[in-house]
């Protein structure tokens, strides 16, 4: 007889949320975690710590530029990196505790150690305290992802670093080169640039932010970041690191020309890859795809009966909230309910200043699908709250179907875009149209009104733009 | 205490119609007997009135199909309401433009969609706007949004005729409901390219269509023609018209001559004044003649009673009164019922010749046309006479050709020699 209804391997946002949901629904659940702290990459070395650092450095930046707001002596302001890191660690620790408390409340047993898939219905947990075999009806693999390492410039933790290190630098590097202009590179690049580092972002693609964003959005974000001192080297292919008299330099090439970027730290943020280390996938006969991701069916079941997988370790965007939704769906399915994830409405956010966010289709993607689109844009420069709050950089773009007015996607560069995008998600989740947004009352004054205005602009009826 | 305002019974044959316009707004104070709404059925337009004093709350939107007995408002008896606004609520005008909007593929025999008070809160703002502007009830659509919600796109598709409208369960409507399916609307919906537009038939227009097709398909209808020299009648009008007007307050028209002529001809050819009921023939011994009146909503045929007992002035007065009230939408249902024969005058629009369609279940209908000076031969001479062509459509199952032709010849004789009417020869 099985000890458990469900054993979840990995306590990241996919795993712990699935465990809690399954517990809520009355299943007997064990959660296996190899690290000392719960919460996975997101909570320990990803989303949360980077947000803490982004906030600390933003507070500093606001203060430094506080003269026009009446702050005296702002120019002479200094900062303490160690204190910022300590604050970050405190935030992380608080949330570690919180996750533990939630799991306990739902009677989820946390099993410490590296979870290994033996076969359907059996997980072996190895730890310094010894091995333990868990018998279970179902297994959910939520082992997440790890940073991608470039083969010709492996992480050394000193010069060539990953995001794991990038959130814990003891001192501000004089020169930092970030490889990859995605969310992680832009966020950590911003953190250290705000503290005075000369940051150069080297990106292979012609635009920043990744392929999800339209060119106009990416360009607006790039302009905003350049004003903050970040340099961008786009369309450049990284070739390696070399030692120079002054220290190190990243080498790259563009249009056949060699480039060299001196750096004290080289943060490689070119993406993440599925993590199945120690899982015993091969031995158990678990099917992986060519990129090492676990292959699943529409119900998240792997090729092994009763073995499921979600989050970064399977296909789809590597986002905490995507993993959470999948975790809930699996738990609900196992409890006899109908879990469902709407992959068309999963927001993406870059937590810079201004933030960059998107959901649904970009204009380019819609056009590639031969959908006739109607576009509405609204510049934050026309938003009262943005003017009052010193954040007029950016705009909101609404992509609607020209025929049905249905919201196809929303993209934005704006202070608070991460919060504003939620309204777009809610409307899209219910099949809303641009007119639905336009007819929804937004509080005034808020930056969010820019979303409403952009929705009105779809039918050329924006009130606050010409 | 709240008193329900219901669609009043209108007569046995009427089960429902269109609530064309509200004359009051929710929250208004109303007084007993005050008109509350105008109500359009397939036969008449009438008004619903308040039964008590109080404050009214509307339940159904203007432009909604309603059935007899359906609750359309409630009045909180005795409650003080808002002072009624000077102008009536800007609801749908009870004019041609208030014809309900057509929607593609009307579902068969679906019950009318009553406005549900809770429904408004569940639909998206854009859907609500479209629903209110067009009258298309989203409850009748297959929603493609989350959990079957109707999206703006679904509404647009239905309005452009690209999506079917599903029958919906009757919402608190009496089971007897047999009103048409698609909800009514107060607007004309233009097509995307603007080359066509779409509106729903009014109940009156729908009924006319149904009756005309019935007459065409259930009778053996054919038409006989004749021509009549109008000079003698015109001469009589010239000679006595002024005095007639002075005495009776109404002009001496042509219609009274034709009504009188028809009555006399029917007396001589009784088969015209009869109708079929299954395999029985009902012979009428009275002369209630329907006179077709064109209105902006469609054709109406009020009935002038006992024309054999009326003098010319009585007939002219009755027709004049009907014409005015028909245009004002004030004709009462009983006034449209029970005719035995119909006279339709296409001549006022300039028609030279036409074949009228029977006013079912009547057995015959006479069509009058315009009066045109034509060369005719009289006593070997070509002379110019004011000529009108006459047409008589008749149900050949009941009336033989000889009878129909005889009837029309008699009418011609009475018009060409009105003194015959005096003596009945």
Contact at CB, B146 and A430, closer than 8 angstroms = yes
* Rounded (5°) CA angle B374-B380-B386: 20
Smallest Cβ distance to B145: which of A405, A431, A438? A431
Residue A140 has, within 13 A of its CA and on its CB side, a CA count of 39
Smallest Cβ distance to B152: which of A404, A429, A440? A404
* Structure confidence by residue, pLDDT tens digits, B207-238: 778 888 988 899 999 999 999 999 999 999 99
Which of the following is catalytic: A65, A69, A299, A444? Answer: A444
Contact at CB, A430 and B126, closer than 8 angstroms = no
* Same domain? A312 vs A185: no
**Residue B396 annotated among the catalytic residues of the structure:** yes
Contact, B64 vs B112, CB < 8 A?
yes
* Same domain? A350 vs A433: yes
| % of residues, chain A, pLDDT over 70 | 100
B348 touches A: beta carbon within 8 Å: no
Q: How far, CA to CA in Å, does A391 sit from each of A327, A380, A396, A410, A422? A: 36, 8, 13, 20, 19
Q: What ranges do the domains of chain B cover? A: 2-98, 119-201, 219-423
Contact list, A405 vs chain B (CB under 8 Å): 126, 152-153, 156
Q: How far is B326 from chain A (nearest CA, A)?
A: 43
* Same domain? A368 vs A318: no
Asked whether residue B308 carries a pLDDT value surpassing 50, the answer given is yes
CA B208 to chain centre: 7
Contact, B420 vs B413, CB < 8 A?
yes
Q: Token pair for residue A53?
A: 């650092």
The pLDDT of residue B188? 61
Contact at CB, B156 and A406, closer than 8 angstroms = no
Contact at CB, A431 and B149, closer than 8 angstroms = yes
Contact at CB, A406 and B153, closer than 8 angstroms = yes
* Same domain? A173 vs A133: no
List CB contacts of B193: < 8 A, sequence separation 6 or more.
none
The pLDDT of residue B107? 35
**Does A115 reside within a domain?**
yes
The pLDDT of residue A1? 57
Contact list, B127 vs chain A (CB under 8 Å): 436
In whole angstroms, what is the distance from residue A95 CA to residue A114 CA?
22
Question: Among A368, A365, A367, A392, which Cα is nearest to A381's?
Answer: A392
Contact list, B162 vs chain A (CB under 8 Å): none
Contact list, A404 vs chain B (CB under 8 Å): 151-153, 156-157
For the residues A406-429, what does the mean pLDDT come to? 97
Residue scoring higher pLDDT (B266 or B136):
B266
* Same domain? A320 vs A353: no
Asked whether residue B113 carries a pLDDT value surpassing 60, the answer given is no
* Structure confidence by residue, pLDDT tens digits, A321-348: 999 999 999 999 999 988 889 999 999 9
Mapping DSSP to helix (H, G, I), strand (E, B) and coil, where does residue B314 land?
Answer: helix
* Same domain? A97 vs A199: no
Mapping DSSP to helix (H, G, I), strand (E, B) and coil, where does residue A188 land?
Answer: helix
Q: How far is A345 from chain B (nearest CA, A)?
A: 12
Range 87-126 of B in CB contact (< 8 A) with A: 124-126
Contact, A201 vs A178, CB < 8 A?
yes
Phi and psi angles of residue A146, each rounded to the nearest 5 degrees, phi first: -130, 160
Smallest Cβ distance to A433: which of B143, B153, B157? B153
The pairing of strands A4-9 and B371-378 is: unpaired
Mapping DSSP to helix (H, G, I), strand (E, B) and coil, where does residue A178 land?
Answer: strand
* Structure confidence by residue, pLDDT tens digits, A146-172: 999 999 999 999 999 999 999 999 999
Stretch among A4-8, A372-376, B90-94, B259-263 having the lowest mean pLDDT:
B90-94
In whole angstroms, what is the distance from residue B274 CA to residue B213 CA?
21
Contact, B387 vs B228, CB < 8 A?
yes
Contact, B67 vs B16, CB < 8 A?
yes
* Same domain? A234 vs A378: no
- Categorize the per-residue pLDDT at B67 as very low, low, confident or very high, splitting at 50, 70 and 90: confident
Contact, A149 vs A317, CB < 8 A?
no
Q: How far, CA to CA in Å, does A402 sit from each of A407, B12, B131, B176, B372? A: 10, 50, 20, 43, 58
Asked whether residue B278 carries a pLDDT value surpassing 80, the answer given is yes
In whole angstroms, what is the distance from residue B111 CA to residue B182 CA?
9
**Residue B360 annotated among the catalytic residues of the structure:** no
Burial class (CB in 10 A: 0-12, 13-18, 19+), A301: middle
Domain boundary among A320, A341, A362: A341
* Same domain? A358 vs A390: yes
CATH number at residue A357: 3.30.390.30
Q: How many structural domains is chain A composed of?
A: 3
Contact at CB, B152 and A405, closer than 8 angstroms = yes
* Same domain? A253 vs A195: yes
The pLDDT of residue A23? 97
Domain boundary among A304, A322, A341: A341
For the residues A198-207, what does the mean pLDDT come to? 97
Mapping DSSP to helix (H, G, I), strand (E, B) and coil, where does residue A194 land?
Answer: helix
pTM, to two decimals: 0.62
Phi and psi angles of residue A42, each rounded to the nearest 5 degrees, phi first: -50, -55
Question: Among B13, B9, B360, which Cα is nearest to B209's?
Answer: B360
Note down the domain range covering A51. 4-146+273-341
In whole angstroms, what is the distance from residue A141 CA to residue A288 CA?
13
Residue with tokens 């890191």: A85
Helix axes A417-429, A449-458, angle to 10 degrees: 50
Domain boundary among A306, A341, A376: A341
Residue with tokens 């729908």: B206
The pLDDT of residue B178? 32
Backbone angle region of A292, left / alpha / beta, with phi > 0 → left and psi within -120 to 50 → alpha = left
For the residues B112-137, what does the mean pLDDT come to? 66
Chain A / chain B CB contacts < 8 angstroms: 51
Which of the following is catalytic: B240, B306, B328, B400? Answer: B400
Q: How far is A434 from chain B (nearest CA, A)?
A: 9
Smallest Cβ distance to B152: which of A429, A436, A440? A436
* Same domain? A330 vs A356: no
Contact, A325 vs A333, CB < 8 A?
no
CA torsion sign, B102 to B103 to B104 to B107?
negative
Query: From A429, which residue of chain B is nearest by alpha-carbon distance?
Result: B146
CA B269 to chain centre: 30
Contact at CB, B152 and A403, closer than 8 angstroms = no
CA A358 to chain centre: 12
In whole angstroms, what is the distance from residue A241 CA to residue A266 CA?
9
Residue with tokens 């070399």: A242
Q: How far is A437 from chain B (nearest CA, A)?
A: 8
Contact, A52 vs A23, CB < 8 A?
no
Contact list, A436 vs chain B (CB under 8 Å): 124-127, 152
* Same domain? A66 vs A120: yes
Contact at CB, A404 and B157, closer than 8 angstroms = yes
Find the distance separating the first CA and the last CA of chain A, reported in whole Å. Answer: 70
Residue with tokens 């009983």: B334
In whole angstroms, what is the distance from residue A183 CA to residue B383 CA?
101
Q: How far is B120 from chain A (nearest CA, A)?
A: 14
Residue with tokens 């952009």: A454
List beta partners, residue B301: none
Range 144-203 of B in CB contact (< 8 A) with A: 144-146, 149, 151-153, 156-157
For the residues A132-151, what does the mean pLDDT come to? 97
| Residue of A342, A404, A442, A452 to mutate for B, most B C-beta atoms under 10 A | A404
CATH number at residue A130: 3.50.50.60
Asked whether residue B41 carries a pLDDT value surpassing 80, the answer given is no
Contact at CB, B124 and A433, closer than 8 angstroms = yes
The pLDDT of residue B102? 37
Question: Among A429, A426, A424, A425, which Cα is nearest to A455's?
Answer: A424
Asked whether residue B161 carries a pLDDT value surpassing 90, the answer given is no
List the CATH code of the domain at B219-423: 3.30.559.10
* Same domain? A204 vs A164: yes
- Categorize the per-residue pLDDT at B44 as very low, low, confident or very high, splitting at 50, 70 and 90: confident
Cis peptide before B361 (omega within 30 of 0): yes
Contact list, B126 vs chain A (CB under 8 Å): 405, 432-433, 435-436, 438-439
Helix axes B231-248, B312-327, angle to 10 degrees: 80
Provide the CATH topology of domain B2-98: OB fold (Dihydrolipoamide Acetyltransferase, E2P) (2.40.50)
**Does A128 reside within a domain?**
yes
* Structure confidence by residue, pLDDT tens digits, B193-210: 667 777 777 777 777 788
Contact at CB, B146 and A431, closer than 8 angstroms = yes
List beta partners, residue A72: none
Burial class (CB in 10 A: 0-12, 13-18, 19+), B201: middle
Question: Among A422, A427, A429, A447, which Cα is nearest to A437's?
Answer: A427
Q: How far is B191 from chain A (nearest CA, A)?
A: 13
Q: Which residues of B278-315 are buried (b: 16+ CB within 10 A; e: fewer)?
A: eeeeeebeebbbbbbbbbebbbbbbbbeebeebebbbb
**Does A153 reside within a domain?**
no
Q: How far is B89 from chain A (nearest CA, A)?
A: 24
Query: From B157, which residue of chain A is nearest by alpha-carbon distance?
Result: A404
Query: From A441, which residue of chain B is nearest by alpha-carbon distance?
Result: B125
* Structure confidence by residue, pLDDT tens digits, A359-382: 999 999 999 999 999 999 999 999
Cis peptide before A445 (omega within 30 of 0): yes
């Amino acid at each position: 007889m099985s000890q458990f209804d469900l054993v979840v391997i990995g306590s990241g946002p996919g795993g712990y949320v699935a465990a809690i949901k399954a517990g809520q629904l009355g299943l007997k659940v064990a959660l296996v975690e190899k690290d000392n702290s719960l919460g996975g990459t997101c909570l320990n070395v990803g989303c949360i710590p980077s947000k803490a650092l982004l906030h600390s450095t933003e507070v500093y930046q606001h203060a430094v530029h506080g003269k026009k707001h009446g702050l005296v002596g702002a120019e002479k302001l200094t900062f303490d990196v160690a204190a910022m890191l300590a604050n970050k660690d405190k935030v992380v620790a608080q949330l570690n505790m919180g996750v533990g408390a939630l799991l306990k409340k739902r009677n989820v047993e946390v099993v410490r150690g590296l979870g290994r898939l033996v076969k359907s219905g059996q997980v072996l947990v190895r730890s310094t305290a010894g091995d333990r075999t868990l018998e279970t009806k179902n297994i959910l693999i939520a082992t997440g992802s790890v940073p991608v390492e470039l083969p010709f410039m492996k992480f050394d933790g000193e010069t060539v670093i990953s995001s794991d290190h990038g959130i814990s630098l003891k001192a501000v590097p004089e020169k930092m080169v970030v490889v990859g202009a995605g969310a992680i590179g832009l966020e950590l690049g911003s953190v250290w640039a705000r503290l005075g580092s000369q940051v150069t972002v080297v990106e292979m693609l012609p635009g920043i932010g990744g392929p999800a964003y339209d060119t106009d959005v990416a360009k607006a974000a790039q302009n905003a970041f350049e004003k903050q001192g970040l340099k961008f080297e786009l369309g450049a292919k990284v070739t390696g690191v070399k030692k120079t008299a002054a220290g190190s330099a990243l080498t790259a090439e563009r249009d056949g020309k060699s480039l060299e970027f001196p750096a004290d730290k080289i943060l490689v943020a070119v993406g993440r890859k599925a993590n199945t280390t120690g899982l015993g996938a091969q031995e158990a006969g678990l099917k992986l795809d060519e990129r090492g991701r676990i292959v699943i069916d529409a119900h998240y079941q792997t090729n092994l009966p009763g073995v499921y997988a979600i989050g970064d370790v399977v296909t789809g965007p590597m986002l905490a909230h995507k993993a959470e939704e999948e975790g809930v769906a699996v738990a609900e399915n196992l409890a006899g309910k109908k879990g469902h994830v709407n992959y068309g409405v999963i927001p993406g956010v870059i937590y810079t200043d201004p933030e960059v966010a998107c959901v649904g289709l970009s204009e380019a993607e819609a056009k590639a699908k031969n959908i006739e689109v109607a576009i509405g844009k609204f510049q934050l420069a026309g938003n009262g709250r943005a003017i009052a709050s010193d954040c007029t950089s950016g705009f909101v773009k609404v992509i609607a179907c020209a025929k049905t007015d249905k919201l196809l996607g929303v993209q934005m560069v704006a202070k608070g875009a991460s919060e504003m995008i939620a309204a777009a998600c809610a409307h899209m989740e219910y099949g809303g149209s641009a007119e639905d947004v336009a007819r929804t009352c937004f509080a005034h004054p808020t930056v969010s009104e820019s979303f409403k205005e952009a929705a009105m602009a779809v039918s050329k009826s924006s009130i606050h733009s010409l | 205490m709240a008193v329900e305002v219901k669609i009043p019974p209108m007569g046995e044959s009427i089960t429902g119609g269109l609530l064309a316009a509200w004359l009051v707004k929710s929250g208004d104070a109303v007084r007993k007997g005050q008109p509350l709404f105008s109500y359009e059925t397939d036969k008449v337009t009438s008004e619903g009135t308040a039964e008590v004093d109080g404050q009214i709350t509307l339940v159904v939107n203007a432009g909604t199909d309603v059935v007899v007995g359906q609750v359309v408002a409630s009045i909180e008896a005795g409650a003080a309401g808002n002072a009624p606004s000077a102008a009536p609520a800007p609801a749908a005008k009870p004019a041609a433009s208030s014809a309900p909007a057509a929607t593609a593929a009307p579902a068969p025999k679906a019950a009318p969609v009553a406005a549900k008070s809770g429904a408004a809160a569940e639909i998206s703002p854009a859907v609500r706007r479209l629903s209110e502007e067009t009258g298309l009830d989203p409850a009748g659509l297959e929603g493609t949004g989350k959990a079957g919600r109707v999206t703006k796109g679904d509404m647009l598709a239905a309005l452009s005729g690209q999506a079917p409208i599903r029958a919906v369960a009757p919402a608190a409507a009496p089971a007897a409901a047999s009103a048409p399916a698609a909800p009514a609307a107060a607007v004309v919906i233009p097509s995307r390219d603007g080359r066509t537009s779409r509106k729903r038939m009014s109940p009156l227009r729908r009924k006319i269509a149904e009756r005309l097709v019935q007459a065409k398909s259930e009778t053996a209808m054919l038409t006989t023609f004749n021509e009549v020299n109008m000079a003698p009648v015109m001469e009589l009008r010239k000679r006595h018209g002024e005095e007639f007007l002075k005495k009776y307050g109404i002009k001496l028209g042509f219609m009274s001559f034709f009504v009188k002529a028809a009555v006399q001809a029917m007396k001589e050819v009784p088969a015209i004044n009869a109708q079929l009921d299954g395999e029985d023939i009902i012979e009428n011994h009275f002369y209630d003649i329907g006179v077709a009146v064109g209105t902006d909503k469609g054709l109406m045929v009020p009935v002038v009673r006992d024309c054999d007992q009326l003098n010319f002035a009585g007939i002219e007065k009755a027709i004049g009164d009907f014409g005015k009230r028909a245009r004002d939408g004030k004709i009462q249902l009983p006034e449209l019922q029970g005719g035995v024969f119909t006279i339709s005058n296409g001549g006022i629009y300039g028609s030279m010749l036409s074949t009228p369609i029977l006013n079912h279940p009547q057995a015959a209908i006479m069509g009058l046309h315009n009066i045109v000076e034509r060369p005719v031969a009289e006593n070997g001479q070509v002379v110019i006479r004011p000529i009108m062509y006459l047409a008589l459509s008749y149900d050949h199952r009941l009336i033989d050709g000889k009878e129909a032709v005889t009837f029309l010849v008699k009418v011609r004789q009475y018009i060409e020699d009105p003194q015959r009417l005096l003596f009945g020869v």
